Amino acid sequence: MTPTTTENLRVAIIGCGSIATRHAQGYQSVPGMDIVAGAEPNQETAQSFQERFHIPRMYSDPTEMLQQEKPDIVSVCTWYLLHMAHVVAAVEHGVKVILCEKPMALNLAEANRMVDICAAHGTKLAIGHQRRFYPAWTRARQLIGEGAIGQPVLVTGHVADGLLNTCSHVIDGIRYALGSAIPVGRKSPQPGEPAAGRAVWVMGAVERKTDRWERNVPIEDCCLGLVQFNEGVQALLQIDLTARNEPDCFTIQGTEGMLMVEPDQLRQISLIHVDKISISVPWDPEIAIAARAVGLEGAFNIAYAAQARSLKAWAQETSGNYPYRSPGSEALQTHEIMMALYQSARDHELVRLPLQVQQNPLNLMLEEGKLPVLYPGRYDIRGPESQTWPHREAYYRLRAAGLSHPEIMARILGVESMPQDSASVS
């Protein structure tokens, strides 16, 4: 039996905006997790968050909160420009477990720093890839390990709203299903576990003709990525190239069949028996009931309750053998793939891993003048200014009509298409 401690865990949250509400609901769904404080500089947001979740104390300064409250667990729910600073502060104040939102950091140097400082201080770092708790994602992983579709060959995914923002979930999900995650505490896969989720090289292409930002970080208009994993598996990723935005889903083609993976359902197609099977994979009833009791409905939200429950078990075990699904060391590999895709676009060539460039290659391309903005006018798709962007209503109307981001921007800007000149494509 794994040794555990049984005291209630003191939880604090840094950054109390929209995503923090799901973290708070997740914690409140788990007995023995007490949210004791939050840190939020916006007074109106802080007051609303405190009233909704009955938080005893709120702070404007995260450092003061850490000093005064001495939490066991901290959720970092700020924009990713601030992730490293807040993780480092939590570690330096003796926090035992940190759950940091995705994307992990602005660049690979920051992500490495987060993992390294946590390892040096014995702090457990989790990254918020809560979709790894989807029951059908885990069942897909099991089926692949059992050889249900033969040898995996190609995985495809389609998302919108940027590589770092949305595609981080798909890349991480693909790696999880293919078998990247040898859980914490184990040094090798168990019999029947897949082990094809280690990336070997990537090729990426990026376009940025508009001044597009996401939470105060410049992002691309669209991106195409090809990832080569070990054991011959490839993943083809389309980001903002189509109207499809499916961060919960991906398709895995194998030598003997195919899996279409969703949060709580699989569709399996056999090439040998020419049949198609729909497999419903329900949530653990205890998790689902607890989630709904605090207002977490639907697969995306229930996953936050599952994440909180697993985080509690990881925090309380003392043997070092608990198989937490999304530790920082795992998320670091997902982050490296995304940075490598940018670097491939920057250098116009295949990039082999490990990636040597530690800065954000997209930012480097902008500094180097490789991605000149042809249509000026900064807009942020997630920041507060997105609410007042004059084209917001038209943008989402066109997206609902099935247009991709480049097609939408061409309509909004009154041009027939986004020109494909060599000066603005990497």
* Domains (range + CATH), the chain: 9-127+286-325 (3.40.50.720), 134-281+327-426 (3.30.360.10)
Say what the pLDDT of residue 142 is.
93
CA dihedral (137, 143, 149, 154) positive or negative: positive
Q: Residue 120 burial by CB count (10 A; 0-12/13-18/19+): exposed, middle or buried?
A: exposed
The answer, yes or no, to whether residue 323 has pLDDT greater than 70, is yes
CB of 53 within 8 A of CB of 29? Answer: no
Read off the tokens for 5.
């401690």
Say what the pLDDT of residue 383 is.
81
379: phi then psi, degrees, rounded to nearest 5: -145, 145
CB of 79 within 8 A of CB of 215? Answer: yes
Say what the pLDDT of residue 32 is.
97
Percent of the chain exceeding pLDDT 90 equals: 84
Angle at 219 between CA 213 and CA 221, to 5 degrees: 100
Q: Residue 111 burial by CB count (10 A; 0-12/13-18/19+): exposed, middle or buried?
A: buried
Residues 36-67: tens digit of each pLDDT = 999 999 999 999 999 999 999 999 999 999 99
Residues 286-321: tens digit of each pLDDT = 999 999 999 999 999 999 999 999 999 999 998 888
Residues in CB range of 269: below 8 A, 6 or more apart: 257, 258, 259, 260, 275, 276, 277
Within 10 A of 194 (CB to CB), how many other CB atoms are there?
23
pTM listed for this prediction: 0.92
CB of 61 within 8 A of CB of 39? Answer: yes
Say what the pLDDT of residue 179 is.
87
Say what the pLDDT of residue 274 is.
63
Between residues 93 and 274, which one has the greater pLDDT? 93
Residue 232 pLDDT grade (very low, low, confident, very high; cuts 50, 70, 90):
confident
Residues 95-122: tens digit of each pLDDT = 999 999 999 999 999 999 999 999 999 9
Read off the tokens for 175.
């790696």
Q: Across residues 331-348, what is the average pLDDT?
A: 97
> Which string of b and e fits 4-35 if b means at least 16 CB within 10 Å?
eeeeebbbbbbbbeebbbbbbbbbbbbeebeb
Percent of the chain exceeding pLDDT 70 equals: 91
Residue 418 pLDDT grade (very low, low, confident, very high; cuts 50, 70, 90):
low
Residue position matching structure tokens 């190239």: 241
Say what the pLDDT of residue 419 is.
52
Listed range (201-205, 302-306, 396-400) with the worst mean pLDDT? 396-400
